[in-house]
Amino acid sequence: MSNYIRIPNRAIQSLKTRNKLTLIVVYAYIRSQIKDSTNTASISEQELAEKCGVCLRSVGNYIQELKKEGLITVIDKKQGKSEYPYNVYRVEFPEEDFSMIKPELLTDSSLTTEQKGLLILLKSHCHEGTNHMNYPSANKIAPLLNIGRIKLGDMIKELLTTGHLLQIQQFLIIIDPNILMFLNPTSDNLAYETIYAFCLLNGAVPPIRGDRRTYTNNIYRILESYPTPPLLSKALQERFINIPPNVSLGYFCEGLCNKHYSKEKKTKHEFIL
């Protein structure tokens, strides 16, 4: 199994089937078996059924739906050492727009199969390069996700209770560590993650990255003064005692790069009468 799994955002968003959340997880399991650049994967339907907690017949139906949607092609069927034959799949989709999850999400016993599928689906709707999305209400988001309003509302409440999601104002933030915000720990990604975590700790909606040019300008101005996460974290705690509920990356950039800033020290004044 690979260290992380790419999930194509637009492809899973377009799924219309009633069992789309389980279907997403079945697909993710198939994707997790890709081990090289050939985009081929092999896993038996029996194993998929056991991992996803569904019957073998249902898995057969899910495979047919994934084939119909153009997400996979069955290119071979082989008999391995076990008594069950296994399919060899070719994954069919462009890799331009995707989310990344850890395989541990699929094996997390604290989550149901549908909850795993919902977390993956929510991630596909997050602002680019973040783990949060607009969530005015279940009524308004349900049509976007193509999930029943009542079912979605109940599932969101469950995931908020279990700590896999966090809601701040009209935003949902995925805080499950197996949903990745980025893959490469570059200096700018680590700086952004530090600011992101600081916002969550203070009950504020993290800033979106915005357009590439503005993001690059802001984040590298910050890195010039605070090149490591510990330095940046300390500066955030010192310079931002209270922050607005909605902040931009530019807001932090200006506050962090203001050279005239000086931390006010509280002193005890003595008066002589």
| Residues 207 and 252: beta-carbon distance below 8 Å | yes
Q: For residues 29 and 45, give the distance between their C-alpha atoms in angstroms, rounded to a whole number.
A: 11
Q: Cα-flanking dihedrals φ and ψ of residue 114, to 5°?
A: -65, -35
Q: For residues 123 and 79, give the distance between their C-alpha atoms in angstroms, rounded to a whole number.
A: 36
Q: For residues 242 and 99, give the distance between their C-alpha atoms in angstroms, rounded to a whole number.
A: 32
R_g of the chain, CA atoms, integer Å: 23
Q: What is the pLDDT of residues 204-253, one digit of tens each?
A: 999 999 899 999 999 999 999 999 999 999 999 999 988 988 899 999 99
pLDDT above 80: residue 260: no
Q: What is the pLDDT of residues 38-77, one digit of tens each?
A: 889 988 888 999 999 999 999 999 999 999 998 999 888 8
How many percent of the chain have pLDDT more than 90?
Answer: 73
CB atoms under 10 Å from CB of 28, counted, come to 21
Which sequence spans correspond to the domains of the chain?
A: 184-257
Overall pTM > 0.75: yes
Q: Supply the mean pLDDT for the chain.
A: 89
In what side-by-side order are the strands of the sheet with 72-79? 40-43, 85-91, 72-79
Banded pLDDT at 272 (limits 50, 70, 90): very low
| Three-state helix/strand/coil letters over 236-272 | HHHHCCCCCCECCHHHHHHHHHCCCCCCCCCCCCCCC
